[in-house]
Chain A
């Protein structure tokens, strides 16, 4: 695996297949990048678990913090590590003790530990380093293009409509009973004409 440049298909298959993500180093402070990413991924439907021993007893978007990966107590698809490069290895070692093993180790933007990556890959895990899953999700969905970012993708197909098609909406404001004044007058004239 070339960790300097990932194919979009590699990133896309990870983001399409994982359902649960434990975020190690998640912060409840709403100006921290980990908070942004946690919230964004939760809103995209991922089952998010905040892991941070310093915040046990608190919640992040309604999800209780746990102290360690071992405390999660259920299978996890992906570990997203929001720690500096020097703190990656112990987290990966802890992840490799989980049963069943997670499928993906993801190290945040700015974080890279090639030795830890090698260990995880040797155990059959996929590894992504120095990337942000929020940015990658936004890029591959082209949502990030709103910010003028080069998504490095092209498509001649209509983008999916977020609401899956037009729905009857019951909260629109109606005027004139849904008819025009002229049509009402015409209807009235018709009934009054002998």
Chain B
């Protein structure tokens, strides 16, 4: 009998979770503890030496967080995952395994504004350099490859305009350059796009967004596809060389196709410290159980709102890949046929001031700096998330002064359309 592969919705409810062996609790318990007792001195030494699987201290691992990790790994089709405190922490921990001072990553220019800041300023201070490339021009990634390139970083559905990235084309560039492709899959979630199926070696998420889905808990996660050979040449010594902090263990040799996730845990999270609270892990796990239902509703509502805006007299343009005439529509039909996500931008004929006015006139949409909430959200990037960029960089990243970004929630679409209509007319 061959093994049956469970469907996405089944995995969203069950993967990683099992009734508690001691109490029989069916929901995943919140193991709100800092530390775990050892059986004896030998057990302690085995755990610290990475010889045994088990729990030591919640900064390194926690049973509630482990359920979340296995669930997201299963949904993404990866070999293992590591949950951390935020999406930003995930990016920090990933790149710490790959880069030394003087090394480079190539990043898509269309990224979440917070990631652009993190790469440009914080990582620059570590001596990690970033070369920007245009996801709409694949050759710009090829041109950016140098001997110092250690990874390529893209978003599957890119903030803020909801544009769709040609993951397979960029994966081909990464393979040719001999570096891993890292895909931030936050805006798509694995329900819409599974980047590993298209050639990603590492997937990162802000769990804060659609996976958690309720705007109540921060979190981030790193998924190891198990596809990259870290020992092929000597480019990734954190994985291929003996680690002095573990008496000379080589991480890839010991852990095989989930070595990257282990490196992130025992070298990254252990030493950098951005651990996820088990309570947040529980909230996010509960959210993931309804991900397929919510994500489809998010997408269906977003498409209806985008269609409404595209015919509105106050609107000059709508960027939503789910609309037939959109420049990303063909990529959307290839990569995300179930829907184009719920985050997109549109432009107002009235420019910057009209953007500010719209935000203040809306009654149902919340004005805040998040996406992927059950509630519908609105922000004017030029005056908020992207305000630290200069005007040229704002335009390049899709956050021009007249642009408004929406994150469509799971309310009734008629109410969302009515709210936008009254605010645009006010």
* A interface residue numbers (CB < 8 A to B): 7-9, 30-31, 33, 35-36, 39-40, 109-110, 132, 135, 138, 142-152, 154-162
Contacts and interface: CB of A to CB of B under 8 A. Distances in A.
Interface of B: 1-3, 6, 10-11, 14-16, 18-22, 24, 46, 49-55, 61, 63, 65-67, 69-70, 73-74, 78-83, 242, 246-249, 253-256, 258, 261-262, 265
Contacts of A142: 18
B252 to A, nearest CB: 9
Main secondary structure of the interface of A (DSSP, over half): loop
Contact of B74 (A7, A36, A132, A152): A152
Contacts of A148: 61, 65-66, 69-70, 73, 80-83, 261, 265
Contacts of A143: 53-54
Nearest to A137: B53
Contact of A154 (B10, B46, B66, B78): B10
A132 B257 CA distance: 11
Nearest to B80: A149
Nearest to A7: B3
The CB with the most chain B CB atoms within 10 A, among A39, A145, A155, is that of A145
Given A144-B53, A150-B80, 14 more contacts: A31-B249, A33-B254, A36-B51, A39-B51, A110-B256, A135-B255, A145-B16, A146-B53, A148-B261, A154-B15, A156-B19, A157-B18, A158-B19, A158-B20
Contact of A145 (B21, B66, B265): B66
A9 B3 contact: yes
A146 B61 contact: yes
B51 A149 contact: no
B24 A156 contact: no
Contacts of A157: 18-19
Contacts of A39: 46, 51
B70 A151 contact: yes
Contacts of A135: 255-256
Nearest to B78: A150
A107 to B, nearest CB: 13
Nearest to B261: A148
Nearest to B50: A36
